[in-house]
Amino acid sequence: MKNRSIFDLRDVTDRIASGESLQQIAEVYQRKRQSLWKWLHRNEERKLAYLGALEERAFLHAQEIEAIAIKAERGEIPADVARVSIDARKWIASRFHPKLLGERTRSELHVRTDHSFEFLQALKEVNRVDQPKRLPMESGQINNEAEGYSDKH
């Protein structure tokens, strides 16, 4: 007898693409969300189908954004309500299809691989010669008393 899956891949991916969460779908099958997630990721075919469904879901959110914007323009819903809904759907859509629907940011990291500055500083530290103490004559201060002379002779 062939081992049948408790989940139907076509049904699951259709539901994901329609906007249902894994939690909602798992409840339909009377299973835990973790069981569904593991089943989807257990083999490459299911995983690719799942990722495709997430991309479709992203486009669903993009269509909803357009519909909400039209309703706001017509005055059917308040602008502040539309803005919150649109922002939330934009965020969700960008997570499901970041390459196409995500905000484009460019990050740059410059790593300095030239350690010449640190090397020179280390050499200076190693080769540093303590400055000799200045003699009183060099500094212009002569201690006559130390030499045995006095202004009082």
CA-wise closest residue to 57 among 103, 104, 25:
25
> Please, are residues 29 and 7 in contact by the beta-carbon 8 Å criterion?
yes
**pLDDT tens, 100-139?**
555 555 556 555 566 676 767 777 777 776 555 555 555 5
Number of other CB atoms surrounding residue 4 within 10 Å:
7
Reported as a pLDDT band with limits 50, 70 and 90, residue 90 is: confident
pLDDT at 152 over 60: no
Please give the Cα distance from 74 to 70 (Å, whole number). Answer: 6
Q: Residue 76's pLDDT is what?
A: 95
Note the pLDDT tens digit of each residue in 1-60.
Answer: 344 578 999 999 999 999 899 999 999 999 999 999 999 999 999 999 999 998 888 888
How would residue 141 be classed by pLDDT, with cut points 50, 70 and 90? Answer: low
Give me the pLDDT at residue 118, please: 73
CB 37 within 8 A of CB 22: yes
Q: Quick one: average pLDDT of 141-148?
A: 52
Q: Which residue has the tokens 């005055």?
A: 75
Phi, psi of 115 (to 5 degrees): -100, 20
Domain boundaries, the chain: 9-101
* pTM tops 0.95, yes or no: no
CA 130 – CA 137 distance, rounded (Å): 20
Q: CATH fold of 9-101, please?
A: Arc Repressor Mutant, subunit A (1.10.10)
Amino acid letter, residue 99: K
